[in-house]
Amino acid sequence: MIHDHAVALRDRLVEHRRTIHRHPELAWCEHRTAAYIESVLSNLGIEHRRVLGTGVVAVIEGRGQGCVGVRADMDALPVPEAPGRDGYRSENEGVSHACGHDAHVATVLGLAELLAGQAELPGTVVLYFQPAEEGGGGAEPMVADGVLDDPAPDAIMALHTASNHPAGTVAMRSGPVTSAVDDITVTFHGIGGHAAHPDRAIDPVPVAANFITNSQQIITREIDPLKPAVITFGSIHGGTRHNVIAPSVTLEATMRSLYPDTRDYLVERIQQMAHATATANRTSATVSIERGYPAGYNDSALTQLVHTAARSICGDEYVTVEEHPSMGAEDFFAFGDTGIPVCMFRLGVGNASRGITAPHHSSHFDIDESSLPAGVAVFAESIRRLLTGDTLLTTTD
Ligand SMILES: [Zn+2]
Ligand SMILES: [Zn+2]
């Protein structure tokens, strides 16, 4: 029944998704997206309020005691959209929904319509439309703003589109799901000069090169090989031309890890490594660290419930357990840092036969919209189970 209702919403889901897709907005600027969400909720007669400028919280009250939360992130990326997408191309030059958050909002708006149409909702459902997931960290201030206080959800779910999973499939895992992320910026200060006379200058370029290779030793020689960690240098800048020794070189790297002890170790050691490499080579280093999102963990009992719900919606063969966590980061889990069980599942949106395979954050990223009803239905079936007595067992992770 729930599945049929969700499939009946298909055209509206596509309309929501394409409307938002045409008007992508960057973190903390989701004004038009928020206004669209509000207009859809108002038309459905659902009570809602703004938070943090561009966030929207909606409450659908039912008759039971239970309360379930569902979160959708709303922001787009500063990624220019590749040509194509007839009829729903981004109208905001240089900005696009290259992570699928347009689809996240669309499925939760579809869920709102499905729930609003139910004669008897056996509990309360709260919808959190969250700004600024892409590095803006919107979840934490939203929680700090008190959105979980009244009504207080017993569990919170979210989905993330996955273009590397086929449309019609759902995947999830319990325990670690996403990585902690910390960014480091290092500048090595030398003394500039003529390239023909390195002895009269202090060249920071080879120092930077040493630092890049030295830092990988932290990963391969110092971290437990069974605890994943990544250091990637995404940017290196120094110098102006081939025959001038640069006075300084600046590098930017991201560090990813799944466990708190690995995270703390990486942050401490890379700073030591930067200063030690600088000193050993007669330069000095300025180092700054920006702590990002912590690692995300899916509650095992809630994930089991969502998994069972997804199997009943999609069919057993279309629901998989993800073997590994992702080293990507996600701020949804700030909702779970309060102790409320959370679960994020992946909704397959890829379709190789239609050429929909581009990775997230790419200019070519797109989704197979036929996947959207499944997202709505998995949410709705999980909510039904949570509100009608499939109680969560005490969790151990
Ligand atoms: Zn993203
Ligand atoms: Zn995303």
Strand order in the sheet with 229-238: 229-238, 248-257, 180-189, 284-291
Tell how far the Cα of 134 is from the centroid of ligand 2, in angstroms: 7
pLDDT of residue 246: 98
Distance CA 59, CA 198 (A): 67
| Ligand at shortest distance from the CA of 359 | 1
Tell how far the Cα of 183 is from the centroid of ligand 1, in angstroms: 16
38 φ, ψ to 5°?
-60, -40
Tell how far the Cα of 280 is from the centroid of ligand 2, in angstroms: 41
Distance CA 138, CA 152 (A): 19
Distance CA 72, CA 37 (A): 11
pLDDT of residue 394: 42
pLDDT of residue 136: 87
Contact 142, 55 (CB under 8 A): yes
Tell how far the Cα of 100 is from the centroid of ligand 2, in angstroms: 6
Tell how far the Cα of 18 is from the centroid of ligand 1, in angstroms: 18
94 φ, ψ to 5°?
85, 0
Mean pLDDT by 10 residues, the chain (397 residues): 92 98 98 98 98 98 94 98 93 97 98 93 97 93 97 98 97 97 98 98 98 97 96 97 98 97 97 98 98 95 97 97 94 94 98 97 97 98 91 46
> What residues have their beta carbon closer than 5 A to ion ligand 2?
99
Q: What is the dihedral of CA 318, 323, 325, 328, to 10 degrees?
A: -60
